[in-house]
Amino acid sequence: MPELPEVETVRTGLEQAWVGRTITQLTLRREGLRFPFPEDMVNRLIGQKITRVRRRAKYLLIDTSDNLVFLSHLGMSGRYTLITPTETPRYLQVDASSNHSKFGALTGFEGRHDHMEFRFDDGSVAVYTDPRRFGIADLFDRAEEPIQPLLEHLGPEPLENWTAQDAANRCKGKRSPIKTTLLDQRFVVGVGNIYACEALHRSGISPTRPTHKLVRKDGKPTKALFELVAQVKEVLIAAIAVGGSTLNDFAAVDGTLGYFGHHFQVYDREDGPCLKEDCNGTIERIVQSNRSTFLCPRCQK
């Protein structure tokens, strides 16, 4: 599910729901996700008031009143479901009509992949669900944030003053294909497989082009690299706009609707017609670094 725009959409949703509320209960239904949960996470979080919800790369950072930071990464399949005390959740009704008793006494959300359940002082509940368990939950003191292993090697935020010159500096001498570089979180953060494909298509750059060829001999960005940096920003901004427009819907906090509402130009469109004006090419699928890449060989050189 989540690349930067989807995580940003979730961030906005959690910010609206959580800031100002105090955690009264936290239930963990397993030892951990990708990594074990910190031993004392439950005890440290109970009683904490949420003060901010930030995002760094694809990580959600939830600040609390005692300067703790709850880190949440959604991996491939993580999502949050929010239940407010006044409304009857729609899918709880659906579940209740089947005689499958997977809803428990507390919340009605005790599916096999519901790993964390937060309860707040206003009676609201949030459930973290993640079938593949590639997600991460962690807790640390705010003062330790600069030395967090998960965060310290991250590259620039693409929507915060990221420049073509910065990109050129990091592209220099790299032999790997530009698609692979786009996915490297040290080059730029937040871009995943879908938006890497989309940005390259918009830029007219072949995913297989060696990264260093996007830098001039004098170390300056080529025209193509200027274009790529611009298109990464544009595709991310457009996707955030789509996600944001769905936010009033209670189901949207899981970020899924962000992808739903978005129709891609190349991703997952193998054998389809290239949608670029006057191109008439056919979308191909290739594999790079064990991941699917979609491209139009006609307009991406």
The C-alpha atoms of residue 256 and residue 253 are separated, in whole angstroms, by 8
- Residue 3 is a catalytic residue: yes
Q: Where does this chain touch DNA (CB under 7 A) — which range of 16-24, 97-105, 127-135, 244-252?
A: 127-135
Q: Which is nearer to DNA, 51 or 176 (CB)?
A: 176
Nearest to 79 by CA among 256, 257, 254: 254
Q: Which is nearer to DNA, 77 or 282 (CB)?
A: 77
How many residues sit close enough to DNA to count as binding (CB under 7 A)? 35
Q: Does 183 bind DNA (CB under 7 A)?
A: yes
Strand (E) or helix (H) holding 228: helix 223-245
Q: Which is nearer to DNA, 285 or 298 (CB)?
A: 285
Q: Does 289 bind DNA (CB under 7 A)?
A: yes
The C-alpha atoms of residue 47 and residue 25 are separated, in whole angstroms, by 8
The interface with DNA within residues 77-116 (CB under 7 A) comprises 77, 112-113
Side chain identity at residue 27, one-letter code: T
- Residue 149 is a catalytic residue: no
Closest approach of DNA to the CB of residue 185, in Å: 5
CA atoms in the 13 A half-sphere facing the CB of 73? 21
Contacts of 52 (CB under 8 A, 6+ apart): 15, 19, 62, 63
Q: Does 73 bind DNA (CB under 7 A)?
A: yes
Among residues 150, 241, 247, 299, which is the contact residue for DNA, using CB under 7 A?
150
Q: Which is nearer to DNA, 120 or 259 (CB)?
A: 259
Q: Where does this chain touch DNA (CB under 7 A) — which range of 68-76, 82-90, 158-166, 234-242?
A: 68-76
E strand segments, the chain: 23-28, 50-56, 59-64, 68-73, 79-83, 114-120, 125-129, 136-141, 284-288, 291-295
Q: What are phi and psi of 146, to 5 degrees?
A: -60, -20
Among residues 89, 192, 221, 243, which is the contact residue for DNA, using CB under 7 A?
192
Length of the chain: 301
Side chain identity at residue 49, one-letter code: K
Contact footprint for DNA (CB under 7 A): 1-3, 34, 57-58, 73, 75-77, 112-113, 131-134, 149-150, 173-177, 180, 183, 185, 192-194, 256, 259, 289-292
Catalytic positions: 2-3, 58, 291
